[in-house]
Structure formats: C-alpha cells, structure tokens
C-alpha cells in the first residue's frame, strides 16, 4: 500500500507560527533591554510609554503597603537659667531615638513606630485646615500674661482658627497632646523645668519606581519640613510619669542626644 504525502498546509502554518513567535520574543527582549537602560538612551522613552500601561509595575510588587516616605519627629525646648533668662535647646530627634531599638534586632519593639503613627495622625489633621489656619498653627500659641507668659486660652484659639469648625477642634486636640508628650520628653531628657516646647516633622521621599535610575536620590520629591510654633508647657508634672519617660530614654541609650542639645543652649 502506497504511503500518502502529508499535506503542505500544516507545515506552512507551523513555520509561520514559529516565525511570528520568534519575532514577538525578539521584540519583547529588545523592549525589555531598552526599558532597563538608563534614562536618555535613544528609544527608551518611546518604548516605556507604550509598554507601561500593559507591563508597568512599581515598588508595590515587593511590598503591597510600602511606606512612601521617611518621616521623623524632632523637638526642642526652652527653660529658665539661673538668671531667669530663657535658654533654648537644640533639636532632639525623637523618631531617631525610638528607631535605635531596631538596629541589629530582627524582632524590634513596635514602639519604634510610635512617632511615625503619631505624626501621620497629626499631619492628617493639620492638612485638613485651610492655608490661613495652617499658617496660624505654625506660629506661637503663647501670649503675655502679667510679668510672664501663658498659653492662649482654648476659646480664643478656636475663634482665631475658625469657630465651630470640627477640623479646628480635632487639630487643637492632637496639638495639645503633642505639647504634653514633648514636655514630658523634654523634662525627662533635660532634667529642667520646661517652660515651652516646639516640634517639627521632616518628611523625605525617595524616588518612585520610574525614577530608580536617577543620580540624585531625592530628585523626584525632595524633603519637606513642617515646623510648628512654640507651645507653652502648661502640664502638671507627675514625677512618676517623668520617671517612666526617663526609663524610655535610658532604654534607648539616647541620653547623649539630650546632652548635645543642652550644650547648644549653653
């Protein structure tokens, strides 16, 4: 029995399919190489623009809830010297102090995120204010009273920032809690009767995924600082609470930070 010749069409179809697949692979390889080359490479921008909607990714592929910024809280304080004059300390990095617990520790305490969580809430309420209110918040909340100074009364602050405004009330509440927290840290760290405190929140944002090859680490976003005005420390000092704060400072082995800031005041 004679054998039949296989039809030519399947061979032709397979050959065409192979050629098309090879071309696709070559195009994908060329596009991939162009995309990962440094910025300014000829053809890179055009290929990236075409490919990004279909194959784009960002840092979330490695961590779905990645932190978008490095945020730190810093504070400084004022107290009276032997002559009754106000002296001002240097800045103390509270966040830097907390993060000392994470160095070389695979299971650090969650306290290292304390100020990160606090500043997130503070900035959220601060940013809910309008531009005029934020400008007022960046000035002092202190007024002259007789021969000294005192915190501006709550009713007056509310009237200045926006009476019956829920955003103002929420902001002033957390601002007051920050004043208490910073006063207790300053009292424990400097060992002085603190008269007023001030804090600032510094945020630096590294480059986004699309800018990962930029030479300047902060070319995309830069660093932003929100410095709040001085707040009068009208806190009733409880020695037991101050001792707890002092234990935290010693636990972080960060007495030197307060010592250096106190030397600036001298």
* 109 — pLDDT class (breaks 50, 70, 90): low
Beta bridge partners of 149: 144
pLDDT in tens, 7-24: 556 678 778 888 888 888
Question: Do residues 265 and 88 lie in contact, with contact meaning Cβ atoms separated by under 8 Å?
Answer: yes
Mean pLDDT over 210-236 rounds to 76
User: Which residues have CB under 8 Å from 158's CB, separation 6+?
Assistant: 165, 168, 169, 172
pLDDT in tens, 41-80: 777 777 777 776 666 666 555 655 556 678 899 999 999 9
pLDDT in tens, 115-145: 888 999 999 999 999 999 999 999 999 999 8
Question: Do residues 241 and 169 lie in contact, with contact meaning Cβ atoms separated by under 8 Å?
Answer: no
Tell me the torsion sign for CA atoms 124, 127, 129, 134.
positive
Question: Do residues 253 and 103 lie in contact, with contact meaning Cβ atoms separated by under 8 Å?
Answer: no
Question: Do residues 167 and 129 lie in contact, with contact meaning Cβ atoms separated by under 8 Å?
Answer: yes
Q: What is the pLDDT of residue 216?
A: 59
CA dihedral 216, 218, 220, 226 (to 10 degrees): -160
Q: What is the pLDDT of residue 38?
A: 75
pLDDT in tens, 170-197: 999 999 999 999 999 999 999 999 999 9
Mean pLDDT over 157-166 rounds to 83
Classify 40 in phi/psi space as left (phi over 0), alpha (psi -120 to 50) or beta.
left
Q: What is the DSSP letter of 101?
A: G
The C-alpha atoms of residue 88 and residue 106 are separated, in whole angstroms, by: 38
When mean pLDDT is compared across 97-101, 127-131, 216-220, the lowest value belongs to 216-220
The C-alpha atoms of residue 101 and residue 119 are separated, in whole angstroms, by: 19
Burial status of residue 21 (CB atoms within 10 A of its CB: 0-12, 13-18, 19 or more): exposed
Chain mean position to CA 110: 17
pLDDT in tens, 28-43: 888 777 777 776 677 7
């Amino acid at each position: 029995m004679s054998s039949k010749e296989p039809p030519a069409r399947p061979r032709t179809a397979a050959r065409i399919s192979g050629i098309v697949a090879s071309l696709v692979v070559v195009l994908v390889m060329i596009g991939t190489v162009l995309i990962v080359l440094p910025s300014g490479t000829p053809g890179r921008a055009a290929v990236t623009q075409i490919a990004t909607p279909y194959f784009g990714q960002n840092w979330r592929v490695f961590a779905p809830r990645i932190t978008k910024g490095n945020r730190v809280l810093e504070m400084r304080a004022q107290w009276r010297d032997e002559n009754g004059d106000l002296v001002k300390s240097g800045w103390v990095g509270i966040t830097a102090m907390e993060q000392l617990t994470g160095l070389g520790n695979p299971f650090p305490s969650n306290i290292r995120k304390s100020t990160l969580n606090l500043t997130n809430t503070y900035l959220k309420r601060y940013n809910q204010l309008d531009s005029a209110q934020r400008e007022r918040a960046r000035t002092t909340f202190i007024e002259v009273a007789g021969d000294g100074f005192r915190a501006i009364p709550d009713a007056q602050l509310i009237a200045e920032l926006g009476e019956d405004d829920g955003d103002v009330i929420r902001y002033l509440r957390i601002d007051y809690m920050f004043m208490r927290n910073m006063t207790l840290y300053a009292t424990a760290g400097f060992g002085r009767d603190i008269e007023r405190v001030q804090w600032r929140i510094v945020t630096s944002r590294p480059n986004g995924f699309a800018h990962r090859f930029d030479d300047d680490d902060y070319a995309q976003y830069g660093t932003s600082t929100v410095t709040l005005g001085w707040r009068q420390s009208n806190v009733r000092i409880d020695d037991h609470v101050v001792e707890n704060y002092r234990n935290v400072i010693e636990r972080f082995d960060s007495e030197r930070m307060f010592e250096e800031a106190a030397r600036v005041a001298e």
